[in-house]
Amino acid sequence: MEKEPIIALDFPSWEQTEQFLALFDQEQLYVKVGMELYLQNGPFIIERLKEMNHRIFLDLKLHDIPNTVHQAMKGLASLGVDMINVHAAGGVQMMAAARAGLDEGSINGKRPVLLAVTQLTSTSEEAMQADQLISVPLHKSVLHYAKKAEEAGCDGVVCSVLEASAIRDACGESFYKVTPGIRLKDGNVDDQQRIADPREAREIGSTMIVVGRPITKADDPVAAYHQVKALWEGRS
Ligand SMILES: O=C(O)c1cc(=O)[nH]c(=O)n1[C@@H]1O[C@H](COP(=O)(O)O)[C@@H](O)[C@H]1O
C-alpha cells in the first residue's frame, strides 16, 4: 500500500490547479492529471507539477489500435510521469504495445507504472450488461481484464475496491490495484457506482486510492485530504 492518497486534479486550468495546490503549503502530494486538465493545457502541466516535486499519475486512458498507442506512449514516457494508463478493453496486443512504447520512451531508466482500466467505477453491472453486451457478472469482467493486463505486461489495474481482493488472489500482492470511486461515509456519490471509503480500501487491499471531488469540492480541501489520509493509513 502506498501512503499518499492520489488527488485527482480535475480542473480546467492551471490557474485553478495552482490555487488548489497552494492550499497545501509545499506538502508533497501524489496527484492525478486527467483528460480535463491535460487536454486543455498539455505537457506544460506536467512540467509545473514536477518542478513542485509532486508525484504524477497521468490518466489519459488510451484506447486505440496498437501502433497508435505504442507511439503515443513512447512520447508520453518522455514526460517522466510516475504512472500512466490505458483501457484494458483495447486488448492484450494494445496493452503490450503500450508497455513497449513506455520501455522505449522512458527517460533516466525510469519507466512509468502501467495500469489498465478494467470496468470504470461509474459503471454498474446493469449498465455494463446493457451497454457493452457483456453477460457475465461485473466482477468476472474486471477479473478477466486484470488477467489480460498481467499477460500483456501491465503492472496493475484500475478497478473498484470491491474487486481488489479477487484481483490480489488471481494476480498477486505486487500487482497494483489502484482504486478510484472513493467516498467518505455520508458524502456525495456523484456519478460513481462502485464506491468504498478509504478505510475499506485499506482493509480490502487497494494498493493506492484515487480521490477527487471529496477533496477538491470540500469546504476545507486540506482537512478533507488529511481525513482521507488518516482513514487510509488506519489512524482513525
Ligand atoms: O483511471 C481513473 O483514474 C479512473 C478510473 C475509474 O474507473 N474511475 C474513475 O473515477 N477514475 C478517475 O478517478 C477520479 C475520481 O474522481 P472523483 O469521483 O471526483 O473522486 C476521476 O478523475 C476519474 O477520471
Q: Could you tell me the residue ranges of all domains in the chain?
A: 6-233
Q: Is the ipTM of this complex over 0.95?
A: yes
- Region 169-190: mean pLDDT is 96
**44's grid cell:** 506544460
Q: What is the pLDDT of residues 133-143, one digit of tens each?
A: 999 999 999 99
Residue 104 contacts residue 80 (beta carbons within 8 Å):
no
Q: Is 66 annotated as a binding residue?
A: yes
Hunting for cell 470511486 — which residue is that? 181
Average pLDDT, the chain: 97
| For residue 157, pLDDT beyond 80 | yes
Catalytic residue among 59, 155, 177, 229: 59
Q: Kindly state if the Cβ of 5 falls inside 6 Å of ligand 1.
A: no
Catalytic residue among 61, 82, 103, 147: 61
* The pLDDT value given to residue 1: 62
- Region 17-31: mean pLDDT is 96
* The pLDDT value given to residue 108: 87
Q: Kindly state if the Cβ of 85 falls inside 6 Å of ligand 1.
A: yes
* The pLDDT value given to residue 236: 81
Task: Give residue 3 CA to ligand 1 midpoint distance, Å.
Answer: 18
Q: Kindly state if the Cβ of 121 falls inside 6 Å of ligand 1.
A: yes
Residues present in the chain in total: 236
Q: Which CATH number fits domain 6-233: 3.20.20.70, 3.90.1150.10, 3.40.50.300, 3.30.1490.20?
A: 3.20.20.70
**190's grid cell:** 456523484
* The pLDDT value given to residue 70: 98
Q: What is the pLDDT of residues 185-214, one digit of tens each?
A: 988 999 999 999 999 999 999 999 999 999
Q: What is the pLDDT of residues 35-49, one digit of tens each?
A: 999 999 999 999 999
Instruction: Give the mutation target among 56, 59, 82, 118 for probing the ligand 1 site: most ligand atoms within 8 A of CB.
Output: 59
| For residue 26, pLDDT beyond 90 | no
| Confidence grade of residue 3 (pLDDT, cut at 50, 70, 90) | confident
Atom of ligand 1 nearest to the CA of 182: 20
